[in-house]
Amino acid sequence: IGASHYVNFSGAAFYCEGNFITPLGVAKVNIPLARQIIRDNPTLFVSNGDVHSPEHSIEVQIPFLQYLYKDDLQIIPILLGTQKPVTIRKIADALQPYFNGSNLFIFSTDFSHYPNYTDACKVDAITADAILTNSSEAFLKAIESNDSKGIPNLATSICGWTGVLTML
């Protein structure tokens, strides 16, 4: 699961148009399961390869998974287009049945963007500590607090905050 950096849209977009190809080979997309999840939640999820095309947040994770899982790997790439916590909550609820011992969820994100090193370390520690509380409220409050501090060049505390919020 990654955040869309290029296109805002309601809900989440699954990639169901084929497999991912990386320098390590083909990463199989579990198209039947992805389409089933979309059918079960048509107001939240769509199949849209166009929003995946320019995106990097998911594709950078796949070679690591290919290295670990070899041919046993099947993925379902999901991009979050929403910035609304209420919609993110609905997405999390829809995906909750799949949070089990049979599936591995990876939520792709960077932490702070563009502050100086000292400020980045401080902001990143605050954000990481908030994630470790396992509280969506504490996480959102930490992001808001970081944003209100007037830290020079801080564009974001965490670019994939929607994915992390989905996880929490």
> Which tens digit of pLDDT belongs to each residue from 58-81?
999 999 999 999 989 999 999 999
So what's the pLDDT on residue 54?
A: 86
Q: Are residues 47 and 8 in contact, defined by beta-carbon separation less than 8 angstroms?
A: no
pTM of the model: 0.91
**To the nearest whole number, what is the mean pLDDT of the chain?**
95
3-class secondary structure, 26: strand
Share of the chain above pLDDT 90, in %: 90
Quick one: average pLDDT of 93-112?
94
Residues in the chain, overall count? 168
So what's the pLDDT on residue 36?
A: 97
